[in-house]
Every structure is written in structure tokens, then in C-alpha cells.
Amino acid sequence: MNNKIKIFHHDRIFTLLLIAIAVIFFYMIGKISDTPGTGELATATYPRVILGAFIFIAILQFVFPKKGDEKPVSFPIKGLLSILLIAVYIYLLDKVGYFLLTPLVLFILPLLAGYRQYLAIAISVIFVTAVLYGIFKLVLNIPLPAGFLGA
């Protein structure tokens, strides 16, 4: 049991994941083709060299990790939830609009972090949204996703 953990510790699994992704991309390069002129490198050569070197070093890291690399890594659920929240937020951004969606999403983030001063959160969220609106929309005239509210 103890031995198994040492061979496949979290760091190694992550390295394996990186190698796997790199191999997929390496395979994808094969589909790029062109005919280079004199002294010209083909389109595929440079990415191939980079990925090849990457895979080589990643294998080195897999085989000879440094002392301390084998420490276990945990993924608390709240961190993953926050990533999901932001993903949903971006997905809805164009549809719902920045100024409606932002305060809602931002209100949830401190709650995920375990902060419970609702009034303080509300004030800071409204303040931030207002300041960003002022800077981007009014001063710099940069459009932000308006969503169904229109212009």
C-alpha cells in the first residue's frame, strides 16, 4: 500500500497528464503540411521540437522527481466550485449582460471562501461594479457585454 503511493504519487499523475496532452498535440501536428522554400523550416518543425523537448523533460521529471515533489495534493470542493462558478458566469455573460450578472456572481465568491459578513460583501460588490462601470464605460468608453438589456 505504502509503496504504491510512492510510485504513483500526485505529482507523477500530473506529469503523466501533461505528457498525455503533449502527445495528443504532437499527433495533431502531423496534420499540418506545407512545402517550405530554400532554408525555410516547415510549419510543423518548430512545434515538433518544442513538444518533443517538453515530453523529454516531463519524462525526466516523472522518472526522477525531486525530493518533496511527492507530497500529496488535495482539491477542496470549494475551489472547484469557484472555477465552475466563473465558467458559468462567462458562459452567461453575453446572454444576461455584465451589470446584471456580475453582482450576483461576485456575491457568491466570498461566501465560498467562508466569509459571512453579508452587508460588507454587498457593499463591496456594488462598489466594485459601480467603479468598473465608471472607468470602463464612462471614462474609457469600452463597451461591456450588455446582454438582453441592450445597449
Partner 1 sequence: MIDNLLLGFSTIATFPALFAIVAGVLIGIICGVLPGLSASTAVALMVPFTFGMDPVVSIVLLVSVYLAGEYGGSITAIAIGVPGTPAAAATMLDGYELTKQGKPGLALTTSVVASSIGGMIGAIILFCFSEPLANVALSFGAPEYFALAVFGLAIISSLASDNLKKGFIVMFIGLFLKTIGLDPFSGEERFTFGVPKLMDGLGFIPALIGLFAMASVFTDIDKATAKSRAIALSFAMPKIRQLLCMWKVYLHSSILGSIIGVLPGAGATIASFICYNEVKRFSKKKDQFGKGCLEGVAAPESGNNAVVGGSLVPLLTLGIPGSGTAAVLIGALMLHDIQPGPLLFQTNGNIVYGIFAGLFVACLAQLFFGLIGVPVWIKVISAPKALLLPVIASISVVGSYSYNNSIVDVWVMLSFGLLGYLLKKFHYPVSPIILALVLGGILEENFRRSLMISEGDFSIFVTHPISAVLLLFAVLSLLSPVLFNRLAKVKS
CB of 91 to partner 1, least distance (A): 9
Nearer to partner 1 by C-beta: 90 or 149? 90
Would you give the DSSP letter of residue 41?
P
Give the three cell numbers for residue 10: 500526485
Helix (H) or strand (E) holding 144: none
Distances (CA, A) of 88 to 95, 98, 139: 11, 13, 29
**In whole angstroms, what separates CA 137 from the centre of its chain?**
27
Which is closer to partner 1, CB of 3 or CB of 147? 147
Least distance in angstroms from the C-beta of 46 to partner 1: 5
Which residue's CB is nearer to partner 1, number 39 or number 150? 39
Q: Using the minimum distance from each CB to partner 1, give the nearer residue, 75 or 148.
A: 75
Radius of gyration of the chain (CA): 24
Helix (H, G, I), strand (E, B) or coil at 97: coil
Q: Report in angstroms how near the CB of residue 101 gets to partner 1 at its nearest.
A: 10
- By beta-carbon proximity to partner 1, the closer residue of 2 and 38 is 38
CA proximity to 126, closest of 134, 114, 115: 134
Considering the complex, what minimum distance in angstroms separates the CB of residue 8 from partner 1? Answer: 14
Count Cβ atoms below 10 Å from residue 15 Cβ, excluding itself.
19
Q: How far is the CB of 130 from partner 1 (least distance, A)?
A: 11
